Each structure stands twice: as structure tokens, then as C-alpha cells.
Structure 1
Amino acid sequence: MQSVRVLAVLVAAGQPVLGADSSSTSGKGGADPKGVVSPAGLPYTTKIDPTGNSDLDAALTSSSDLLSLQKTHAVGPFALAGRIRNDYARLTTALESFGYYDGQVTITVSRPKGASTSVQASMDGQDIGLPLWLASLPTSETLTIAIKAKTGPLYKLGAVQTVAADHKTPVVLTPPQQQAFGLKTGAPAVASDVLAAGNNLDNALQEEGHPLAKVDIPTAFLRPTTHTLDLLYPITIGPKADIGPIGLTGLDYTNPRFVRRRMTVSSGQLYQPSKIEAARQDLASLGIFSNVGAKSPDKLAPDGSMPLTFTFKEAKRHTVGAEVGYSTDLGGRVGGTWTHHNLFGNAERLKLTALITGVGGTAQQGLGYDVYADLFKPDFPGRHQNASFRLEGIRQLFYSYRQTALIARAGIVRQLSRRWNMSYGLAGEQEKIDQFGVTRSYTLVFAPISLNYDSTDVPSPLAPATHGVRVSLSGTPSASFDHGTTFFALLQANASTYFDLANLGISAPGRSVFAFRGIVGSVQGASTYDIPPDQRLYGGGTATIRGYRYQGVGPQFPHSKYAIGGTSLDAGTVEFRQRFFKNWGMATFVDAGQVGSGSAPFTGTVRVGAGAGARYFTPIGPVRVDVAVPLNRPPRGDKWELYIGLGETF
């Protein structure tokens, strides 16, 4: 019986085993072991014969220095011989990683056909004449190196034992521990499975509250007569422990009391790595740290608990950014932002933005501005809810109306579950609006509330969704003053869903996706002219119906392109998204919808638009360029629209 250490899993995991390459003196010449300069380099090509096992073939390919280094400078004969000898060990390790302990590797070096001495030399890796034979070859020839691996019989697992650190005392695993361990007699002796079983058991023991648990790399005993591999796993379980004192280091500007309130683990709680990692990730998600770590010492405290220390590296507190966007209807918008990411030491974010809007838009009568200050406060007034405040000054010169307004908003977003959240708040607005030659001032108060569901599981709003559903249901009770008091409510439902053609087996995941969107809105309690123009419903543009200018769908003033606005809206979209290569993609879409003057949706003239666009995928999201045309254009409507933005439209 032969005792071996199972160290071959690196190859099985697709990572070449690291080893010295005796060809480090590569170039037009190399140095032999005696220091004698060898002749000029020998170019060569390498071919590995398939074994019939694709995973094993991939491991052999990734392990071969001859193959991976053949495109570097040609090496001298002594360096090439060393590279061949090194490949024997690497390829044999790859075979053993897959359970083939009686495998055989043959490497054959051949001269080109037609050479004056057409000789094939097969090496076993120890041929002392190999360098001299290589040195005798003309340097103008390109050699062919063929690698063939014979697997031999597949070894299977024999006896699998778990013992204490003394390698003698048996350790009996509980049923949950045995399930995590997972190894069974008779399974193929694949090295990756053997080492993964130890890691899985180690994780299970620590998750049960044993912070000092350790499962060592097993000792493997080959039994050539039965083609089996016996395994002996040394295990240290150690005592159960609770989390002890929790230390915080690296907090220069952040309030430690805020961090402790935010933390999802506490002293006295059972030590579980998954809970600690979840707490670490939650703290990292605040956006004020460039790095968050969690570490424990290698021994328990005198009281039997396990101390825990969170380490922080605070990110830059101030950032400056730019914002640019363009569409033919709304024109260009350009401006900058300044953000303070930790205003009072509790992860508050203050963002100041100034934008110039309406640069050359077909739905605009001139330049406008949008200036606002946003304050975001996490965990206010309690855990799982965040507060936001905005003070905004805005001027918009649409063809439908001209507006100058000062708006103040305050709201709470509460996380109900991983996929559900709700938001509610209050807002006030003082505005002056000029529409069709009539100027009026309005004072409004709003109390918006919404319920949102998202199962797309995307990491950020800019990342394209490939599956799941998004639903938003909102209601905004409102009151308008100054021209009598008018009470009304805006009700709206938005839904989108995504279907990946990979579910039908006809594309790779995330490459070909259908996206669907539906919108229904209604104003209850008031007619069109009872509410301010900016509170009415409009169609057209990226948010509803592409191909029509912003506010270009719905009731219009006679003999003009001025929109009146309506009190009902419905729209739908079908979009197909296709990715090409690594960073490119395209989309085609059809939008349809209507705006009515009554409170019931699905009234008015249906307008349909269609278009296509290109996508360039960046690390933060796709850059989108879409062109759309109206299929039943109204009088005085635009013939086409161009949209440029970051992220998909929905």
C-alpha cells in the first residue's frame, strides 16, 4: 500500500500546478546546467491527444508548459529538454487529480517531414541524451511535440475515515456533518471532490459554532490491487463558542455608535461565519467604506468566547461627477454633481446637482435648469428604512407649458423583504405655469405612497435585467390651492418582465432577452382643467411611447403642437435585446399607448412607434442609442426621435 498526499486538486480546478520552468533562460539561446551556452533556440508546436474526457483534457491543456509557452521566444535545447521533463510531472499530476493513478504520459518530439534524418524521439522525462539530441538539430526547423496520456483504470474511494489530530482516535460525524462531508465509498477518487469534502466539513463545523474547527488535507493510501484510494482525514472540532467582544478599527470619520447599531451580529450570539460575513457585506453596502474586513484570533478568550474585530478603510468622502444626456425631443442636458458621502458620520449622503436642460429639443422652447440638493439618511427612523430629502428649483420650457417651480420633498423607503419595499412621504410645490398664453401660480401639497416588487436580482438599477418581474403600484393624494382648493389623486401601475431565450435552450444565458412593459395611470377626483398642467398625464418619449416627442401623444390644442394633457394613460412595450461578442448589443422594440381626457384608461387615440438601437456594455451599465419612428404620426408630429442614455429604458 502506497501513502500519498492529495495535492493535485489545483489541476482539477483548472489552475496549473505551479512549478519551476527550466526554460527561464529563454531567447535565442539557453544555458545548460553546466553553464555552457547552447545553440540558438528551437521553435516547436505542441499537440495534446484527446483522452475522451473533456474535463481531463482541459486540465491537461492548462497544465502543459510546452503548450502555454510555445508562443514565447524559442528556447535552447537544454531549456526545451527541461520544459519536457517538467511537463511529465505536471501532466501526471493532472491524471492523478481525476483518479487515474496508473496513467502514463508519453511525449514525442518529431522533426519535419522531409528532414535529412527524419527521427522521432519518445522520451520518458529522464532521458539524459535528450538535450544532446536536441542540440544536434538545425535551428531552422520547427519541431512537432506530441503529448499522449493513457488514463489506465479509474481509482475509486475505498475506506474513508475521520480521525482526531493524533491520526488514531476515530471521530464520529453527526448526520448533518456527514451530509456536508458528502464522500462515499465507491465514488471516483477525484482530487477536487476529496479536498472539497474537507472544506465543506470544515465550513459545517464552524457554522455549528466551532470557531477553532479544522479539517486537514487528508492522507491518501493507494491500493493498486483493488484500484482504490483510502482516505484519512485529521479533524479538530474544538469547543462551541459565542461571539465575544466586538472591536472596530479604522473609523476616522464614521460614528462607531452608528456602526454598532447597523451591525447584524452581536456579542453573545453563536459564532457562525455566514452570519459574520452577512454583517460584513451589509456594512460594506453603506458605500462609505472602500474595504470592510472581519477577523478573529486563533484562540478563544478566557471566558470561552471568540472575540471579533471589524476593520474598516474609509472611502473618499467627496466626489465630483458629470451628467450628460440627449434625446431629440427633450434635447440635451448637461451638468455636474458634488457629493459628500459621510456628512455627519452616520453614512448620510449629500448630493448637490446643477443641470442645464432643453438644449435643442423638439419639445422645448428654450433652455431650462434643474438645481437640487438631495440628502439621504440611512436607518432613519429605524433599521431597514431610509429617509431622503430634496429641495429643488426647476425651470422647464416645454411646448405644452412653461414652468418655474420650487419643490420640497421628504420621504421614507422601508424594506419589507428582499424583494418588496414601500415608500411614503410628503411634498410641497410652489410654481408658476404659462400654458397657451395664460399664466397662473399654484401651491400644491402631495402625499405619495407606493408599493414595489423586484425579482430581477440585478446588482444595480443600471444593470440590464434578464429575468424576473418588476411591479410598482402608487397613489398620490394631492391638493391644489390658489384658484380654489382642488383635491385629486394620481393612481399609477407600472410592470415589466423579462424572458431569457436560454430558457428554451436556443441561446446562451443573458444573450437573447425579450422585455415587456405595461403602464396604466388615472387621475381621480378632478377633470383636466381642474389640475395644474404639470400634474396631468402625457404620452411620448422613452418612459411611454418612443417615436413620439415628449408630451406628443394625447389631446392637443387645435391647430398647434401644444399638448393639453389628459387624466388617463396606458402604454405597452415589447422589446428584444441581443448581445454580440463581449461588449456590444442591439435592441428592437414596438411601443403603443394612448392618453385620454376621462379618468378611465384605454380611451383616446392609440399611437404606435417602433425602432431599434445599439448597446455598448460598460462595467456600470449599457450605453444606449435608440432611433424610433411613429407608425401613425399625428399632424405636426416629429418624423423620428433619437435617444441616448445610460442603462436600458426599463
Structure 2
Amino acid sequence: MLSACTSDEGLTGVLGFGDGADSEIAQNDLQQTIPYEVEIAGIDPQEENLIAALEGVSTARRLQSRPTASRAGLQRRAEDDVERFQAVLRSKGFYDGQITFEINEKVAADASDSAPAEDASDAGSEQDPADGQSGDDALASTSEQPTPLVLTYNIDVGTPYLISAVNLVITYPDRVVERHATDKELEKTRLEIGQRATAEPIILGEQYGVDILREQGYPLVEAGKRTVLADTAQKTITINYAFETGPQADFGKITVNGAEDVDADFIAGYRSWRSGEQYHPEQVRTTRRDLAQTNLFDSVIVKVAGPVNDNGEIPVEIEVVERKMRSIGGGLDFSTAEGPGANAFWEHRNLFGAGERLRLGIDVSSLEQGLSAEFKKPQFLERRQSFVAEANAKNNDTDAYKGSTLDSFAGIERPLWENWTTTFGVTAEYSDLTGSDSPNEEFYLAGLRGILRHDNTDNPLDPTRGNRFEINVSPYMGLTDKDTGFTTVSVVGSQYLSIDEDGDYVLAARARTGTIIGEDRGNLPSNKRYYSGGGGSIRGYEYQKVGPLDDDHDPLGGRSVLEVGAEFRARVTESFGIVPFIEGGNVYARSEPEDISLLWAAGLGFRYYTGVGPLRFDVAVPLDKRDNVDDDFQFYISLGQAF
């Protein structure tokens, strides 16, 4: 026994402890893994979504960076994938799909392509010691690197199954109805007879079915068990939806939670339904949207809070989180045409506790200095109707006229249709101005103002989609001079077309036209005439300098105006963009243009995009430069797009 313990093998052979070299080889064997590749074969390359879904659920693909230590480990991963793949095929409408897999060694590259053939006489000789590795050592080194494997899934998707029928089982409080879905219901559920039976539209169809029953006045409807029956002979499926409607209900009592500074009755007054009206989810969504647009709340939740009471009414809860009600702000701008400018404002959005908004502002530039006040009272007499009032006091010092003006307006603002609003009211104005053809004249005017607006753009400062339209009709009469009477009509519109989905490349166009009916130009107050030129109309020309001029090249204004312009807004990086543009326009002495000859300008703008809007820097040159009138170029700096 003692001699056995001292033999070459001894206890090391019995207990498995070899010498240092043997131990190192065994440890390397335990740590060795087999790299592999994954291929999916047999699927039409046009089925990109299906291929992406299969790759997304594949365990073998996901763990490819952590290969197994054996072929058996890779086989277990492949077997796990087969079940996952079957589920994906069914979700895409392939209920008869067949999946097999095979694991093969990766075929090495042709030796003739990688190395020259050896001389046959040297094939069996040992490597020269000077090369640093014997033939046996090279063989051992090669055997330590496992041959990579290729896992190939062979998938026969089979014939896709189509939807042959959609059946409904609707359990009402007093009856159960089993029937086929109507054509109108199929349209609302986004399902069609004959379409491929993929999982996503079938699942969504159930939620659309819930929405359909809610629109019929059942606020507590729930979906039951959904079944899908396959006909393997016809390769079709039948979908069976089950719903429990609960009782039909009318809108009931409203409870407001979270109101602190804002009056709860004012919040409840935003409900879009009449008392006792049958429940409809669209009314709930409208109320939530209107409350969110008041800018009084950080969040708004409007929901039914069942059960339905004995009167057939369901309570409604409105939960709000109020935001800060006061804000201040300001801005700076500069142009060679108008000089430097600054503005500031203070705003209170809940002055008396019911969403009353008061905004006070000041604007100062080298051409105009003014104070303004705006007031808006929502829910005035009717829901979604507001009382609006404003007043402005200005001192003017432009080439067209100098002096002071006061104006005020009071009226009603209300929405008409989606994205459409109207404003109508009375106005009173005073002006004491000195102009080229109206020296030292005072005017006291009273009038009406009617405005129709449309705006479905996606951003007030940087729109990329949608359009804006406004028509303004304002008749005036003199209070001291009864013979004075005229009507101004103006139409302004703009269109925005995004070339790409992200809105990085946008085509924008604008147009403006207007006319004054009833008085000759010389009998009109200087500030009521039309002018053009400058950063807000035709860049490249000085402020108010497009149109008729006197002998000193000062603007006279006109009774009609026409302007057009277009830009291409290209966002080159996340923070920087360029905007080439062209604009043209003219002002005419008569109420209708004598001709449509326009003064044109072109330029290039640069945009730096900030969190509140783009910072604009534009350079423009007049294409129809007039001697001794127009400069070689103009540039403008401000916040927001030009239009």
C-alpha cells in the first residue's frame, strides 16, 4: 500500500489531482466555449416585420455573445426558441408554421485561398526548432480552438390565415345578444373580413369594441373572454368577442378634487354635457381638453366614478393639480430697419378665482413706445365663451407719422368649430398724428371689430404642420366729424408643410391682402392706412418704406396692400438651422391695386433652437432696390420664426 502511494499515479490518479500541467488542461476544458452564428431561413425577405419579431424573441440570438460550452447547450437554446417562434408565427397569422433547426460546423474558407500548398516531400517532416514550434505543438494549439457552429432555423410559415367572421356576445342587464359585427362596427374596430389574422389588430379590436359600447351610453362596459377559432381546412379564423355592458347611464353629479385657488364651480362649469344628458366618452375627452387649455393646471383628470345610482346617473370626478398663476417675461429684438427693441409683461391667470386673465405689457423701441393691458373672462354667460377687453397707449416716431394714439376694444370671443374662433365687439380710438399729407390732425373714432380665425398648427413659435387664417372686418365712423366713415378689411394666411416626419425640413408660405373702403387716402388717419416693409412683412426693405413715398422719401401709406413670401426651413443639427427665403409686396393708393407689381427681396436666415423657440437672425437684400431709398441689405434678430 505504501509503495502504491509512492507510484507515479498514486493518490493523484485515484483522487483526480494530476500534476500542474494536467490540472491546467482540465481547467481550460471547463472554461472553453463554442462560438456560433444564427441564421433564419425559409421566410420571404419582404416579411421584414416577421423576421424582426423572430430575431427579437430568440434566446440564441440574444445570448450569442455568451456562447455555450457544448453543442448540447446550443441545442437547448434552439429548442427554447422553437416554442417562442411558434407564438410569433401565430401572432402574425401563420397558424400552420413548421420550424426545424440544425446545428453544423461552420465551413472553413478554402485552404487554397489562404495559403500556398506545401511541397509533398516536406509534408511529414517536423518543424525546424528555429521556427519556435514543433509540428506536434502546432497540432495541439489548433485542437485547443473549437470549431465555430452555425445554428440554422428552417421555417416554413405555411399559408396565412384570414379573418372569416367577427362575432359579438353582448351581455346587457336584461338580455344577451349574439350576432355578427356590423359593417360599421368592423370599420370602427379597424377589422376587415379577409384580412390576415394578426394578433395586434385582433387585440385592439376588443378595446375598440369597448369604446363602441361606451359611446352607446354604457360607461362601465368590460370585455369578457376573447376566443379565436381556426379552420385548418379553409385557413381562416373566427373571432368571438364577449362584452358585459353594465347599466346604461346619464351624466350625474360632478365632484372636483384638488382645487385650491381656482373656484370648484368654475371648474365644473367646463363640462361639455347638459344636465341629464346620456353618457358619452367624447364629452369626457372634450371637458378634459378644454380644462387643460386654460393654462391653470399642471394636470387634469376627468373620469366616471361608478356605480350607476338608482336614478340611472353615474357620478363624474374631476381631479386637478393647479399651476402657478402669475408669470413675468420679456424679450429683445434688433433690426437695421427698426433699431433695437425690448418688451416685458406681467400676467395673472386667475385674478378673481375663476380663470380671469390680466396681462400688462410695455414695448419700447426707437420707433414706438407703448403700454398695453389685456383682460379675458372665460365662461362669460355661456360655456366656452369669453369676455375680452384690451387697451393700448402708444407714442409713435416713424418716417410715416409722429404723435400719440389711444385705442380700446371690448367684445366676445368664442370657438365656432374645431380650430376656429371668432371675436366680435366695439372699439374706440383716438389719434393725434402728424404725417406727410395729414399735418396736425386729431381723430376720434368708434367702430366695430369682427375677426374670424383658424389655426391648426403644431407650435405657436415654430410651426411645422398646419395652417393659419384670419379675416378682420372693422367699420369706423368719426365721433366729432360725422362725415368720416370707412371700413378696413384684411386677410392673412400661412401654410406649413413638413417634408420629413420629424419636422426638420419645412416649406412655409404666407400671404396678406387688405383694402380700405369709404375714404380717400388723404382723409384717413395716418395709423389706419396700410404700410409694408420690415421684419414683419417684407424683409430687405426699411420699416413702412414699401409703397408710395413723398418727395422726401417718407411713406404715405395706402388703401390696399398685397404681400407674399416663402421660406425653406432646414434644421441642420439639433440646435442650428438655415432658412433661405423670398418675399414681395406693395402698397397702393387706391382701395384696389392699380396693378400687381411687387417689390421683391431675398435673404438667408439662421436659427438657433432654444427651449422656448428658435432665435432668429435674418439677412435680406432688396431685389428691386430704389436709388436713394433702399439700403444694400437689412438684418433682423428676434425670437420665433418670421411667420
Would the TM-score normalized by the shorter structure come out above 0.5? Answer: yes
Contact 1:246 1:266 in 2 (8 A): no
Change in Cα spacing, 1:445 to 1:102, as seen in structure 2 (3 Å) is same
Matched, 1:238 2:237: no
Change in Cα spacing, 1:464 to 1:138, as seen in structure 2 (3 Å) is farther
Change in Cα spacing, 1:229 to 1:600, as seen in structure 2 (3 Å) is closer
Matched, 1:308 2:300: no
The one-letter amino acid of 2:358's match is L
- Report which of the two structures shows the higher radius of gyration computed on alpha carbons: 2
Once the 2 structures are TM-superposed, how far is the Cα of residue 101 of structure 1 from its aligned partner? 2.5
Matched, 1:418 2:410: no
Change in Cα spacing, 1:417 to 1:431, as seen in structure 2 (3 Å) is same
Deviations 1:550-595 (A, max 9, x none): 111233343x45x242232322314143545685665444333323
Q: What corresponds to 2:629 in structure 1?
A: 636
Q: Identical aligned pairs, as a percentage?
A: 25
Q: 2:532 aligns with which of 527, 535, 539?
A: 539
Once the 2 structures are TM-superposed, how far is the Cα of residue 157 of structure 1 from its aligned partner? 3.8
CA distance in 2, matches of 1:142, 1:298: 63
Matched, 1:524 2:523: no
CA distance in 1, matches of 2:411, 2:149: 73
Once the 2 structures are TM-superposed, how far is the Cα of residue 199 of structure 1 from its aligned partner? 1.7
Deviations 1:112-153 (A, max 9, x none): 875999xxxxxxxxxxxxxxxxxx9969x9998776654223
Alignment of 1:83-482 (within 5 A): 88-104=82-98, 149-157=155-163, 160-163=166-169, 171-172=178-179, 175=182, 177=185, 180=188, 187-224=195-232, 226-358=234-366, 364=367, 369-418=369-418, 420-430=420-430, 433=433, 440=440, 442=442, 444-454=444-454, 457-464=456-463, 466=465, 470-479=469-478
CA distance in 2, matches of 1:45, 1:321: 61
CA distance in 2, matches of 1:353, 1:69: 63
Change in Cα spacing, 1:178 to 1:354, as seen in structure 2 (3 Å) is closer
Contact 1:324 1:334 in 2 (8 A): yes
Q: What corresponds to 1:6 in structure 2?
A: none
Q: What corresponds to 1:551 in structure 2?
A: 544
Aligned residues: 573
Q: What corresponds to 1:489 in structure 2?
A: 486
Change in Cα spacing, 1:238 to 1:109, as seen in structure 2 (3 Å) is same
Once the 2 structures are TM-superposed, how far is the Cα of residue 548 of structure 1 from its aligned partner? 0.4
The one-letter amino acid of 2:386's match is N
Alignment of 1:546-625 (within 5 A): 546-558=539-551, 560-561=552-553, 563-580=554-571, 586-602=578-594, 606-615=598-607, 622-625=614-617
The one-letter amino acid of 2:600's match is V
Q: What corresponds to 1:15 in structure 2?
A: none
Q: What corresponds to 1:23 in structure 2?
A: none
CA distance in 2, matches of 1:85, 1:348: 68
SS in 2 for 1:591: strand
Once the 2 structures are TM-superposed, how far is the Cα of residue 201 of structure 1 from its aligned partner? 1.7
TM-score scaled to structure 2, two decimals? 0.75
Contact 1:538 1:552 in 2 (8 A): yes
Change in Cα spacing, 1:267 to 1:169, as seen in structure 2 (3 Å) is closer
Q: What corresponds to 2:619 in structure 1?
A: 627
Change in Cα spacing, 1:498 to 1:180, as seen in structure 2 (3 Å) is closer
Q: Which blocks of at least 5 consecutive residues in structure 2 are unaligned?
A: 1-29, 112-142
CA distance in 1, matches of 2:79, 2:614: 49
Contact 2:485 2:518 in 1 (8 A): yes
CA distance in 1, matches of 2:370, 2:39: 64
SS in 2 for 1:371: strand
TM-score scaled to structure 1, two decimals? 0.74
The one-letter amino acid of 1:171's match is E
SS in 2 for 1:262: coil
Once the 2 structures are TM-superposed, how far is the Cα of residue 208 of structure 1 from its aligned partner? 0.7
Matched, 1:54 2:48: yes
SS in 2 for 1:203: helix
Which is worse superposed, 227-236 or 344-353? 227-236
Change in Cα spacing, 1:428 to 1:450, as seen in structure 2 (3 Å) is closer
Change in Cα spacing, 1:239 to 1:508, as seen in structure 2 (3 Å) is closer
Change in Cα spacing, 1:103 to 1:414, as seen in structure 2 (3 Å) is same
Deviations 1:612-634 (A, max 9, x none): 33456667655544322111222
Q: 2:509 aligns with which of 506, 515, 520?
A: 515
Contact 2:457 2:467 in 1 (8 A): no
SS in 2 for 1:520: strand
Change in Cα spacing, 1:299 to 1:274, as seen in structure 2 (3 Å) is same
Once the 2 structures are TM-superposed, how far is the Cα of residue 303 of structure 1 from its aligned partner? 3.0
The one-letter amino acid of 2:560's match is L
CA distance in 2, matches of 1:41, 1:335: 71
The one-letter amino acid of 1:315's match is R
Contact 2:458 2:465 in 1 (8 A): no
The one-letter amino acid of 1:539's match is S
SS in 2 for 1:311: strand
The one-letter amino acid of 2:507's match is V
Change in Cα spacing, 1:228 to 1:317, as seen in structure 2 (3 Å) is same
Which is worse superposed, 206-215 or 59-68? 59-68
CA distance in 1, matches of 2:482, 2:329: 42
The one-letter amino acid of 1:450's match is G
Once the 2 structures are TM-superposed, how far is the Cα of residue 249 of structure 1 from its aligned partner? 1.5
CA distance in 1, matches of 2:395, 2:79: 76
Deviations 1:417-473 (A, max 9, x none): 33554323344445554657998474533424234253x622454353645562414
Contact 2:457 2:468 in 1 (8 A): no
Contact 1:545 1:591 in 2 (8 A): yes
Contact 1:264 1:279 in 2 (8 A): yes
Contact 2:458 2:464 in 1 (8 A): no
Change in Cα spacing, 1:642 to 1:148, as seen in structure 2 (3 Å) is farther
CA distance in 2, matches of 1:354, 1:410: 20
SS in 2 for 1:329: coil
Deviations 1:65-106 (A, max 9, x none): 776788xxx547489969877655544432221111233456
Over aligned residues, Cα RMSD in angstroms? 4.3
Once the 2 structures are TM-superposed, how far is the Cα of residue 207 of structure 1 from its aligned partner? 0.8
Deviations 1:173-219 (A, max 9, x none): 67455664575765432112222222222111111112222223513
Once the 2 structures are TM-superposed, how far is the Cα of residue 597 of structure 1 from its aligned partner? 3.6
Once the 2 structures are TM-superposed, how far is the Cα of residue 407 of structure 1 from its aligned partner? 4.0
